[in-house]
Amino acid sequence: MRRALLGAVAAALCAAATAAAAPPSQDVVLPGPVPYPTPNPPLVGKTAISGGFTRYVFHIRNNERVLVRVDETGSPLSLRVRQRLDVGGRGDYQFAVSGPIEDVLRGPGSESEPGLRADQVLWAGFSPGRKVLAADVTLRPGEAAQYLPVRLGLEHTGDGVTLTVANATVTPELEYAGTTRPRQIASLLDRTRRTARAGERLFAGYATFYGRVRQRAQRAQIEAPLRVEGELRVGSGNPVRFSELLGDAEPLALQVHARGAGTPHVKLTATPVPVERLLRPPGGAPTWTAALKRRPLPGPFLLQRLLQSRMRLVRGDQYQSFLANPDADGRSRSVYVYETAKAPRQQAVAAPSGDDERGGGGPLVILLAIGGAIVAAGAGLVAWAHS
Amino acid sequence: MRRGLFLFVGLALLAAGCGKSSSNSSDLGHLTVAVDVPVTGSPYVAQTIRQGLELATANLNAGGGVRAGEKSYRIDVKLYDNHLSARQAVENTRRALDANAIAIVTDGTGVNATWQIAQRDGVPISITYDGGSGLVDAETRPNVFRIAPTNHGIAFRYAEYLVPKKAKVALLSDDSAYGSEGAADLDRAFSENPEAVATKLTLPAGQSDLTAQILRVKRSGATALLVWGQPPTIAAVLSAARSSGWDVPVYAPPTGADPFIRQQLADHPEWVDGLTFASGRMTAEVGTAPFESFQSQYESTYGADKVGVKTSAGQPVIQPPEFAMYAYDFAHVLTAGIIRAASTDPKKITAALNQVTTQGANGDERGFNEHNHEGVVDDDVYFARFHDMTFAPVHDDPLSSTLPVIPQTG
């Protein structure tokens, strides 16, 4: 009995001493699932009445097809969104979808008629359990085009036309740094990877930091990874097809050249995709935890990879809703379709100003940024390999 | 909470614009709203619309009137009798415009002719009874609005309700304008399910004996009758079918709830049993309280609308003020429009009506938008069935099954 008591006291003292010696720790919230780094998308209407809400009884799946008509230089001329809301739940509903909305028409398969108010699409009625609400929404391109995920440039060069497709979702974001436990970060990386592969929305998560939590001086440049597929044709020439990933450790822009004379025609789709490459464990390991068991991985590297991957997943999720899903927790998917259309040049939308919220520039700027990023990444890899 | 979206804005606007004015009531300006209804053609409809409108404006006036920009106004209601005549409705519209009416509330009589006259002055017209499909079109008739269930909505809801029952439906309509319009909507609604239609027949409006026609319908193999007509036609169909021992289910549009049918068949209350009608629901998801409050206020002001029949227990049956509610609601939407427009210019008020929503008497939201001038959405159409001279929502329709029974004895 006495021995036991002494043992307990000793253990308590030991624990207290350990606690006193260890640096203070704090749990820091990881990026995701929200907030999004910029206010748009989903688009917001300037004159729309705010304060709408969706009752918890409704679960809504949102699918959008954003159709962008561009001129012969690649500038957007018109924007139309076909939005389909699959409403689950029984009861009265009134939803509002806001944005720079010019007009709305009933979409194919819709079981109700959309209403239009200043910068709002209105849905009201009764859902018996399931209801499909579909609308063809025409947006004012001057206000909406700046939030598109991809910018196109078409330029006559030499013997044909060169198309530049640039990921326009890049935005600077604050990034934390500090001391963490590699095992915890590796585990979080594995979980984040599983979520991304399942196409699910990020889970809320925390990482434990020991000692001071710093902000990195330089903001991370974060993009929504996009799968871009399409073709470029000049006049009656043969089409040049392409399919590239823009982002997720791949270049943020691509160039396609098609030979021929005449009017260029481009059609492409851009689809936000989950982070895959950046979440791939090093050395062919099945998981980050396994990779860590094989060889030590630097804590700062793991932490940065976790934070930046999650920021990209959040950014990608943001572009899944060009128009808002009335159910903030509902699943959304968007596909952006760009196609050239014949139209007078003067109707083209002016390029966004330099103080654009995403901080992105034109295709050339982005290309230069990519070059720099690739060089920096290469240097980092070499340094890590020799660490 | 039913359709809470935008409601706070409507309420805020109303609260801001309808507050008790510190100024003397004699300082108030006057705005006129015309009500053009068939006082001598369909007195029950005329009375319920007029009273609903007057109840709303009386409340607004008692609260200090409505504020339009820098000045407050009281709303006066001016009554016109259209005798169910389009020609008279045209004449009344001209007189209402001469009297500087800022809006016209009507049962729907003559709107095909009156809307253009009103449009010249930008004056909005609100229909609060007739659900005819061509009457309202936000694109071509930008000054015409409606708060009442639409024929289109009722017809499609009936197709949705009856086709899955595998019934062979006889589509019957009378040769009144109301019946013809309804028949056209029924044709469209059942066009994708022709196998569900046993026969189509036009009945002479006003004829009390339809025995021959109903016998013909019976021989067509019909297992259900959908009768789109005036109340006397529906009463005559019930009478012909039941007196011949044919217990076929009978379905009707909102006219099926008209007191006239029960009065006509008071000697055979069992003939009314099972009659099902479609109309706009009187209660919202919030429950019966808002409608009961409105009904109580309505009845304390004007007395209950007595049907003139009794239940088997000897209780007098009263008619809930459904169509009074629609006129009442339009008065509130109009007020919100005036406040938003900050003007008494009818053109500005008409434009503002597309942007406002207010809470209706049943707790539901009422409002219009740039593409839709219907204040009762198709989804709000429910079905009710008579038993013992009173009606209750049916249980075999998803919306109707959620609705409570409105008390109808007093």
Is residue A324 less than 8 Å (CB to CB) from chain B?
A: no
Cβ <8 Å between B378 and A96: no
**Mean pLDDT value of segment A147-157:** 96
Closest by CA position to A313, among listed A218, A228, A191, A214: A191
3-state SS, one letter per residue, for A6-60: HHHHHHHHHHHHHHHHCCCEEEEECCCCCCCCCCCCCCCCCCCCCCCCCCCCCEE
Higher pLDDT, A171 or A158: A171
Select from A49, A124, A128 the Cβ nearest to the Cβ of B398. Answer: A128
Contact B82, B140 (CB under 8 A): no
Decide if A85 contacts A62 (C-beta within 8 A).
Answer: yes
Q: How many CA atoms lie within 13 A of B371 on its CB side?
A: 20
Record: contact B372-A55, CB cut-off 8 A? no
Strand ranges of the sheet holding A176-180, from the earlier edge strand across to the other edge: A25-29, A206-215, A176-180
d(CA B23, CA A180): 69
Say if the Cβ atoms of A122 and B369 lie within 8 Å.
yes
- Would you state the pLDDT for residue B206? 82
Which of B284, B371, B399 shows the shortest C-beta gap to A128? B399
Choose among A96, A116, A124: nearest Cβ to B370. A116
- Phi and psi at B246, nearest 5°, equal -90, 110
Enumerate the β-bridge partners of residue B374.
B146
Mean pLDDT of A323-348: 83
**How far apart (Å, rounded) are the C-alpha atoms in residues A252 and B264?**
79
Residue type, A30: L
What is the per-residue pLDDT across A172-188, written as a single tens digit (0 to 9) for each?
A: 999 999 999 999 999 99
Can you tell me the distance from the alpha carbon of B365 to that of B336, in angstroms, rounded to the nearest whole number?
A: 12
Contact A53 B6 (CB under 8 A): no
Residue A130 touches chain B, beta carbons under 8 Å: no
Residue of A311 and B287 predicted with greater confidence: A311
Where does the pLDDT of residue B19 fall: very low under 50, low under 70, confident under 90, or very high at 90 and above? very low
Please give the CATH topology (third level) of the domain spanning B7-149+323-377: Rossmann fold (3.40.50)
Give the pLDDT of residue B363.
87
Residues A278-291: tens digit of each pLDDT:
999 999 999 999 99
Q: Which of A49, A91, A126 sits opposite B6 (nearest CB)?
A: A49
> A104, B377: Cβ pair inside 8 Å?
no
Write phi, then psi, for B7 (nearest 5 degrees).
Answer: -60, -40
A93 contacts chain B (CB < 8 A): yes
CATH of domain B152-280+381-402: 3.40.50.2300
Instruction: Determine whether the interchain pair A116/B4 forms a contact, defined as Cβ–Cβ distance below 8 Å.
Output: no
Report d(CA A192, CA A212) in Å as an integer: 25
* A43, A317 contact by CB (below 8 A): no
pLDDT tens-digit map of B142-163? 999 999 999 999 999 999 999 9
The pair of structure tokens assigned to A127 is 């859902």
List, as ranges, residues 203-262 from A with C-beta within 8 Å of B.
none
All residues of chain B having their beta carbon less than 8 Å from the beta carbon of residue A50 are none
Q: Is B398 on the interface with A (CB under 8 A)?
A: yes
B5/A125 Cβ within 8 A = no
Cβ separation B6–A124 shorter than 8 A? no
pLDDT for B351 equals 96
pLDDT digits 0-9 by tens, B218-262: 999 999 999 999 899 999 999 999 999 999 999 999 999 999 999
Residue A10: pLDDT above 90? no
pLDDT tens digits for B255-291? 999 999 999 999 999 999 999 999 999 988 778 899 9
> In this predicted model, what pLDDT tens digit does every residue of B23-41 receive, in sequence order?
455 578 999 999 999 998 7
The alpha carbons of chain A give a radius of gyration, in whole angstroms, of 25
Alpha-carbon distance A94 to nearest alpha carbon in chain B (angstroms): 5
Give the A:B interface size as CB pairs under 8 Å: 64
- In the Cβ-directed half-sphere of B208, how many Cα atoms lie within 13 Å? 3
d(CA A204, CA A251): 29
Q: Is A105:B358 a contact under the CB 8 Å cutoff?
A: no
CB atoms within 10 A of CB A358: 20
Chain A CA closest to residue B355: A117
Q: What is the mean pLDDT of residues B119-145?
A: 95
Q: Is the pLDDT of residue B5 over 70?
A: no
A352/chain B closest Cα distance in angstroms? 30
| pLDDT value of residue B28 | 84
Amino acid A7: pLDDT: 53
- A112/B377 CB distance under 8 A: yes
pLDDT band at residue A22 using 50, 70 and 90 as cut-offs: low
φ, ψ of residue A33 in degrees (nearest 5): -75, -25
Closest CA to A166 of A258, A256, A38, A79: A256
Q: Please tell me the predicted confidence (pLDDT) of residue A46.
A: 77
Per-residue three-class SS string for A265-298: EEEEEEEECCCCCCCCCHHHCCCHHHHHHHCCCC
Classify each residue of B263-294 as buried b or exposed e, where b means 16 or more C-beta atoms within 10 Å of its C-beta: ebbeeebebbebbbbbbbbbbbbbebebbbeb
Could you give the maximum distance between any two Cα atoms of chain A, in Å? Answer: 97
> B 261-300 residues with CB below 8 A of A?
284-285
Å between B296 CA and nearest CA of chain A: 25
Chain A residue numbers with beta carbons less than 8 Å from the beta carbon of B370 are 115-117
Task: Judge: A94–B3 Cβ closer than 8 Å, yes or no.
Answer: yes
If one counts every other C-beta atom within 10 angstroms of the C-beta of residue A154, the result is 22
Whether the CB of B395 is below 8 Å from some CB of chain A: the reply is: no
Q: Are A175 and A216 in contact (CB under 8 A)?
A: yes
Is the model's pLDDT at B18 over the cut of 80? no
What pLDDT, in 10s, does the model give residues B297-327? 999 999 998 999 999 999 999 999 999 999 9
Residue A92: its chain B contacts at CB < 8 A?
2-3, 284-285, 364
- For residue A45, the distance in angstroms to the closest alpha carbon of chain B comes to 14
pTM for the model: 0.77
Place of tokens 């269930």: B149
pLDDT in tens, A353-368: 333 333 334 444 444 4
Are A94 and B379 inside 8 Å of each other by CB? no
- By the CB < 8 Å criterion, does A111 face chain B? no
Share of chain B above pLDDT 90, in %: 83
Contact B269, B312 (CB under 8 A): yes
Q: What is the mean pLDDT of chain B?
A: 91
The tokens of A383 are what?
Answer: 């340094």
Percent of chain B with pLDDT over 70: 94
Any idea where the domains of chain B sit in the sequence?
7-149+323-377, 152-280+381-402
Q: Could you tell me what percent of chain A has a pLDDT over 70?
A: 80
Domain spans of chain A? 25-385
Tell me what pLDDT residue A126 has.
87
Model confidence at A68: pLDDT above 80 = yes
Per residue in A121-145, pLDDT (tens digit) is 999 888 989 999 999 999 999 999 9
Query: How high does pLDDT run on average in chain A?
Result: 85
